[in-house]
């Protein structure tokens, strides 16, 4: 038995001693002494280890070389098991669990599978990073709370990462023991028959997906296809070829692009047979590229359903029935490829009486992004016997700096709820609403916290302790301060990207009486307290300066991360400056002479240069030009206000 095996180790001197580890192990005990890594150190891969163990072993060797200044000699000889670092597979152990024992003469890592060895190696790597060549004697027995622990990354609403960026993301995820990646795609895949959907977006290609799928497999990550198949069909339905499939009766190809409409409108006409045919063609093109047995069909936020072409049908059948019938059809198209359909559960929860109709070979994705997730939001799926994930978020959408306090509460509380109701997975989301302005490094805190909470629900607090651990492990900040500074900074933010992107948005869905006549900005934005905006602006600038000081002494795992965090802070400050400048130009008393229309317009243009450079270091050009267009038009409008 696994538990009998683990407790036959050396006597435990300290029952639990927290260390800088993400995730925190289930059971960790410290002993006196240390294991010294020296030039004679051997890394023995026991013959029981699968060949793919080499990936994790080489990661460990790289870290030993970097932090202990000694690269171990590799071996597979059973005769070298008595000293050095030994990795082995032992039957009967939990599939993803491991036992790590560090004694004065040997480091022994035992697991029940190659995945367990990989996860145990990641823990050992973190011990090496914090201890160097003197590894503390300890015993760790560990296994996850959630079998599926995922990260969901938006690759469609403006930002398409390079393949190298995706490889780096996979390695970071896997290091924190995440084992599922989903990339959100509406139109940013080069579908063979539908060039009109992806034109000009620098889409992912079949070759990209095949390469990423193999890389994920090497790191024990399941790359799950995720494709919008009902709502959020904005870019496709703006094509002249497909605009007739829109639930809304509009000539979408003739309308100007709108971030607002992209987020809130454009659902497929579910009663048109051509809609079902289009979805099948997309799935047939996409599904075979993935080795995963899962497929996320999305089907969320079908806001327009039954409000346009199908208004009469909806009045007869009910909107819920329209939704369910189309949902089942999409599920059938996925099952034809031997995959289990997943879907976002928000729409079906509006008609709970239909939930029992959902086939039991389906996975519901129960999402929610508030600090206080409703305590019973998972109950309908649990009561119906439908397997489900809980899906919190990193709170980075429409933000230059992620809302860390909100994300921390959302992630940890949703993880607790999911465990209580029997969720089989936790999928932590990173959306890119309105252009995906958020630079990737800003989401690392939420990514790591989601990994910690899905592995060890009760051992992840999401507060100061996690902030300092994250700062030291991921950001290389020996003071442990950076996470706390980011939390403080995000709590100061009043103005996000949302009102700025809506300021000049051409949508007809924002009524003219909602806008201030002179500037065109939303009246609700202009009504914000100048005193509070000014205080927030100053505080954000102060905290950005502190980030710069911390960055000078830090040695982060990712060389870009501090540049992205500092740029994010600059962007957050700029949003407040824009509103203050507009307030001053329209006669409000802001009490500031240093935040004028001309000065802020100049700062927008300078900021865009820095931001553009960072964007293009990780991403294809994709739709960056749309963000630049908003910023440049905002600067031009400020110039106009400055002259008036």
| CA distances in angstroms from 349 to 42, 229, 297, listed in the order given | 56, 18, 17
Q: By C-alpha distance, which of 329, 320, 341 is closest to 277? A: 329
Please, which residues have CB within 8 angstroms of residue 24's CB and are 6 or more apart in sequence? 18, 452, 456, 459, 460
Hey, how many other C-beta atoms are within 10 angstroms of the C-beta on 175?
24
Please state, as a whole number, how many other Cβ atoms lie within 10 Å of the Cβ of residue 18: 12
pLDDT at 12: 38
Which residues of the chain form CATH 3.30.379.10? Answer: 2-142
**Token pair 């039954």: residue:** 306
Write the secondary structure of 197-210 as one string of H (helix), E (strand) and C (coil).
HHCCCCCECHHHHH
Per-residue pLDDT reduced to its tens digit, 138-170: 999 999 999 999 999 999 999 999 999 999 999
| Rama region for 629: left / alpha / beta (φ>0; ψ in -120 to 50; rest) | alpha
Structural tokens at position 4: 């009998």
Residue range 89-148, pLDDT digits in tens: 998 888 899 999 999 999 999 999 999 999 999 999 999 999 999 999 999 999 999 999
Contact (Cβ atoms closer than 8 angstroms) between residue 43 and residue 72: yes
Strands 148-154 vs 98-102: parallel, antiparallel or unpaired: unpaired
pLDDT in tens, 507-540: 999 999 999 999 999 999 999 999 999 999 999 9
**DSSP 3-state assignment of 235?**
helix
Burial (CB count within 10 angstroms: exposed 0-12, middle 13-18, buried 19+), residue 312: exposed
HSE value, Cβ hemisphere, 13 Å, CA-based, for 443: 26
Contact 574, 540 (CB under 8 A): no
Residue 375 has pLDDT above 90, yes or no: no
Nearest to 443 by CA among 68, 168, 37: 168
What pLDDT is recorded for position 91? 85
As a three-state string, the secondary structure of 420-462 is HHCCCEEEEEECCHHHCCCCHHHHHHHHHHHHHHHHCCCCCCC
pLDDT of 3 > 60? The answer is no
SS3 292: coil
DSSP states along 538-585? HHHHHHHHHHHHHHHH---SSTTHHHHHHHHHHHHHHHHHHHHHHHHH
Neighbour-count burial of 83, counting CB atoms closer than 10 A to its CB (0-12 exposed, 13-18 middle, 19+ buried):
middle
400 class by beta-carbon count within 10 Å (0-12 exposed, 13-18 middle, 19+ buried): buried
- How far apart (Å, rounded) are the C-alpha atoms in residues 57 and 43? 8
- The per-residue pLDDT for 9 is 40
Task: Check pLDDT > 80 for residue 5.
Answer: no
Q: How many C-beta atoms lie closer than 10 Å to residue 577's C-beta? A: 25
CA 323 to CA 313: how far, in whole Å?
12
What is the Cα–Cα distance from 355 to 378, expressed in whole angstroms? 12
> Would you state the pLDDT for residue 18?
64
Secondary element (H or E) of residue 273: helix 273-286
- Residue 24 pLDDT greater than 50, yes or no: yes
Encode pLDDT of 266-319 as tens digits.
999 999 999 999 999 999 999 999 999 999 999 999 999 999 999 999 999 999
Instruction: For residues 169 and 160, give the distance between their C-alpha atoms in angstroms, rounded to a whole number.
Output: 13
pLDDT tens string 557-610: 999 999 999 999 999 999 999 999 999 999 999 999 899 999 999 999 999 999
User: Do 135 and 128 contact (CB within 8 A), yes or no?
Assistant: yes
Q: Where in the chain is the domain with CATH 3.20.20.80?
A: 148-462
Radius of gyration of the chain (CA): 26
SS3 of residue 87 by DSSP: strand
CB 248 within 8 A of CB 307: yes
pLDDT at 93: 83
- The string of pLDDT tens digits covering residues 250-262 is 999 999 999 999 9
* Separation in Å, CA 54 to CA 11, 118, 210, 371: 32, 9, 21, 41
Q: What is the DSSP string of 379-417?
A: HHHHHHT--EEEE-B---TT-SS--HHHHHHHHHHHHHH
Count of residues in the chain = 644
Distances in whole angstroms, Cα of residue 19 to Cα of each of 23, 154, 262, 293, 466: 10, 33, 45, 36, 11
Pick the CATH number of 2-142 from 3.30.379.10, 2.30.140.10, 3.40.50.300, 3.40.309.10: 3.30.379.10
Q: At what angle do helices 163-175 and 114-131 cross, to 10 degrees?
A: 90
Most confident of 17-21, 373-377, 613-617: 613-617
CA distance 575 to 581: 10
Residue 2: pLDDT band with limits 50, 70, 90: very low
Q: Which CATH number fits domain 148-462: 3.40.250.10, 3.20.20.80, 3.40.50.620, 3.30.70.330?
A: 3.20.20.80
What's the pLDDT band for 13 if we cut at 50, 70, 90? Answer: very low
- The pLDDT of residue 15 is 42
User: What is the CA 300 to chain-centroid distance, rounded?
Assistant: 18
End-to-end CA distance of the chain: 80
8 A C-beta contact, residue 568 and residue 401 = yes
pLDDT reported for residue 10 = 37
Separation between Cα atoms, residue 68 and residue 62, nearest integer Å: 10
- Burial label, 70 (beta-carbon count in 10 A; 0-12, 13-18, 19+): middle
> At residue 102, what are phi and psi to the nearest 5 degrees?
-110, 115
Which CB contacts under 8 angstroms, 24+ apart, belong to 71-75? 72/37, 72/41, 72/42, 72/43, 73/41, 73/42, 73/43, 74/42, 74/43, 74/44, 74/45, 75/42, 75/43, 75/44, 75/45
- Banded pLDDT at 633 (limits 50, 70, 90): very high
């Amino acid at each position: 038995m696994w538990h009998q095996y683990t407790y036959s180790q050396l006597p435990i001197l300290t029952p639990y001693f927290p260390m800088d580890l993400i995730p925190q192990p289930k059971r960790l005990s410290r002993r006196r002494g240390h294991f010294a890594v020296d030039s004679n150190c051997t890394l023995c891969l026991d013959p029981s280890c699968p060949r793919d163990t080499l990936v994790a072993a080489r990661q460990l060797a790289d870290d030993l070389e970097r932090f202990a200044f000694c690269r171990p000699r590799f071996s597979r000889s059973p005769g070298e098991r008595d000293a050095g670092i030994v990795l082995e597979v032992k039957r009967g152990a939990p599939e993803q669990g491991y036992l790590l024992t560090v004694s004065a003469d040997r480091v022994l890592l035992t697991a029940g599978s190659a995945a367990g060895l990989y996860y145990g190696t990641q823990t050992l790597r973190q011990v090496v990073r914090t201890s160097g060549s003197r590894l503390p004697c300890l015993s760790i027995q560990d296994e996850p709370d959630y079998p599926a622990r995922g990260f969901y990354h938006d690759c469609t609403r403006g930002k398409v990462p390079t393949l190298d960026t995706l490889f780096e993301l996979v390695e970071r995820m896997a290091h924190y023991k995440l084992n599922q990646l989903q990339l959100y795609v509406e139109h940013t895949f080069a579908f063979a028959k539908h060039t009109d959907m992806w034109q000009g977006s620098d889409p992912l290609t079949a070759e990209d997906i095949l390469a990423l799928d193999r890389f994920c497999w090497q790191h024990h990550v399941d790359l799950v296809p995720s494709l919008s198949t009902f709502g959020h069909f904005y870019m496709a339905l703006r094509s002249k070829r497909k605009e007739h499939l829109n639930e809304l009766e509009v000539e979408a190809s003739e309308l100007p692009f709108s971030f607002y409409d992209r987020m809130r409108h454009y659902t497929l006409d579910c009663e048109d047979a051509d809609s079902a045919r289009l979805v099948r063609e997309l799935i047939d093109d996409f599904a075979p590229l993935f080795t995963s047995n899962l497929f996320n069909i999305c089907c969320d936020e079908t806001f327009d359903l039954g409000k346009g072409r199908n208004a009469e049908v909806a009045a007869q059948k009910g909107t819920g029935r329209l939704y369910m019938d189309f949902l089942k059809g999409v599920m059938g198209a996925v099952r034809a490829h031997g995959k289990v359909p997943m879907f976002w559960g928000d729409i079906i929860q509006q008609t709970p009486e239909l939930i029992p109709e959902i086939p039991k070979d389906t996975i519901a994705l129960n999402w929610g992004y508030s600090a206080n997730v409703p305590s019973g939001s998972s109950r309908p799926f649990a009561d119906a016997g439908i397997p489900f994930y809980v899906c919190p978020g990193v709170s980075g959408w429409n933000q230059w700096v992620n809302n860390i306090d909100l994300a921390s509460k959302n992630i940890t509380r949703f993880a607790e709820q999911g465990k209580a109701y029997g969720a089989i997975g936790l999928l932590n989301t990173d959306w890119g609403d309105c252009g995906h302005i958020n630079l990737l490094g800003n989401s690392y805190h939420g990514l790591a916290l989601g990994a910690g909470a899905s592995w060890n629900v009760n051992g992840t607090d999401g507060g100061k302790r996690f902030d300092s651990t994250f700062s030291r492990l991921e950001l290389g900040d020996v003071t442990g301060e950076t996470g706390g500074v980011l939390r403080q900074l995000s709590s100061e933010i009043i103005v996000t990207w949302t009102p700025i992107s809506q300021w000049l948005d051409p949508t007809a869905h924002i009524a003219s009486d909602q806008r201030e006549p002179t500037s065109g900005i939303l009246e609700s934005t202009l009504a914000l307290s100048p005193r509070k905006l000014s205080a927030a602006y100053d505080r954000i600038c102060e905290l950005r300066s502190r980030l710069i000081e911390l960055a000078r002494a830090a040695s982060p795992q990712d060389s870009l991360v501090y540049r992205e965090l500092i740029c994010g802070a600059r962007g957050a400050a700029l949003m407040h400056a824009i509103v203050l400048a507009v307030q001053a130009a329209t006669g409000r008393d802001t009490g500031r002479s240093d935040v004028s229309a001309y000065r802020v317009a100049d700062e927008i243009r300078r900021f865009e240069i820095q931001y553009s450079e960072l964007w293009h270091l990780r991403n294809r050009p994709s739709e960056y030009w749309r963000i630049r267009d908003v910023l440049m038009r905002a600067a031009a409008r400020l110039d106009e206000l400055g002259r008036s």
